[in-house]
Amino acid sequence: MQNPDVHAPDALTAIEQYFDKGWTDGLPVVPPTEERVAEFLATVDRDPDEILIEFQENSRSCSVLTAAVNAVMAGCRPEYFPVVVAAMEGFADPLWANGRPGGFFGSLASTGSSAQLLVVNGKIRNDLAMNSSVNIFGPGTRANSTIGRSIRLIIINALGMVPSVLDMAAQGNPAKYSLCIAEAEDDSPWEPLNTEHGYKSGDNTVSVFGVRSPVPLESRWTQDPEIILGWMADLMSVKCNAYLQCMGPTMIAMGVEHAKLIAAKGWSKNDVKQFLWDNARIRVSELDAGARPEDPGPQMLTQNIAGVEIREHAGESWLHMCRSPEDMVIIVSGAPNAGVSAVMTPWGYMPPKGKILVKPIETKR
C-alpha cells in the first residue's frame, strides 16, 4: 500500500474496506482523506516524494507522503507527524545494525518478536502532551499511542512486513502495536538521554531502539541502591537470551522514585551504568552447558565474535551482558509514587558500542 484509494459512502464502510484490504494492524484505522494528509505534510519542510526508508530485500520503501497517510490512519494529530518522520530516519540509519546485512529489515523479519521503541526528549514532549509518568507503557495518551502505532502501520503497509508473510515473529509482542514514551526530564535527577549523545538540553529528539517487552522490577522496601540495582542486574542476566542481548544496548526505564533515591545516595548515571555492567553477568560454563555443537549463539560469545567482555573473577570466566557500561541506556520515566522500574533487552538493534540512534525532530518553520 502506497497511496490508498478507497471510495466509500461513509467512514464506517471505509474502515471495513481497509480491513478487507489488509491495511490495518488488526484495529480500526482513520480513513486518510487528501485534506487531512495535506495537514500533516504542512508540518514538515520535506518533499512528499522524498524516501525516508527503503528495503532492498523486498524492494519496498516509505516516502514522506506514505508516512503521512499511515500517521493519519493511526489516529495522530498533524503536529505529531515530525516525530514520525524523525523516527523513520532513525530506523533507516545504517548504524542500526552496525553495517551488518539486513539491518532494520532483518530485525522485523526475525522470529525474535522485536518491538520498535521511541523515546522522545525536549520541549516537544510537553507541546504534544506526551506521557512520561503514570502508565508509561500502557494506554491512555493519544500522542504516545498513535505515534507508536504509526510506526507499526508504516512497517506493515509501506514496508511490507505483514505478519505471517515477512514478519515471522514466533510469538509476537504486544509492544509491536505501539511503543512510544517520553522521558520524565523534569523529574529526573540526571541529564536526559539526548544530552548524553551530543544534543543540548531542550533539543527536540527521538531515539529509536529494537527491544523485547518491558520486564518490570518492583522494589518498594529497600533504600539501598546496591540492592535495587543488583536485582536489576539479575533481570538482565538471563542465559537463554545471552547471545542476542550481549550484542546491543540494554534499555533501563528507571522509575522516578528509584532514580531520585539512588541519586540522593550520591550515585551518578555513569555510576549506575558501571554497577549494572559489573553485575549483569553469567558464568561462561553455564552458557556452554548443554549447547549443541552447531548452535552459533554460545560460540559467538565465547569466541568474542560479538565484541562482548569475558573476564575472570574468583577463578571463573564471566560473560558480561553488555559490551560496555555505555551500552546500559538509562532513561527516567514512569510514576513518581512507586518503586517500579523496567528493563528492555535488545533485539536486532546492534549499533556500535556505546552508541544509540538519536534523531532531531524538525518542524516546518
Q: Which three cell numbers stand for residue 344?
A: 528492555
> What was the pLDDT predicted at 7?
67
> What was the pLDDT predicted at 2?
47
Q: For the beta carbon of residue 75, count every other beta carbon within 10 angstroms.
A: 18
- Nearest 5°: the CA angle 110, 111, 115 is 70
Write the single-letter amino acid at 144: N
Q: What is the pTM of this model?
A: 0.94
- Report the alpha-carbon distance of residue 198 to residue 41 in Å, rounded: 28
- Report the alpha-carbon distance of residue 361 to residue 81 in Å, rounded: 10
> What was the pLDDT predicted at 362?
97
* Digitized pLDDT (tens) for each residue of the chain, 365 residues in all: 545 655 678 889 999 999 999 999 999 999 999 999 999 999 999 999 999 999 999 999 999 999 999 999 999 999 999 999 999 999 999 999 887 778 899 999 988 888 999 999 999 999 999 999 999 999 999 999 999 999 999 999 999 999 999 999 999 999 999 999 999 999 999 999 999 999 999 999 999 999 999 999 998 889 999 999 999 999 998 876 655 667 789 999 999 999 999 999 999 999 999 999 999 998 887 776 655 556 555 555 555 545 677 788 888 888 888 889 999 999 999 999 889 999 999 988 989 989 999 999 999 87
Q: Which three cell numbers stand for residue 303?
A: 569466541
Write the single-letter amino acid at 45: D
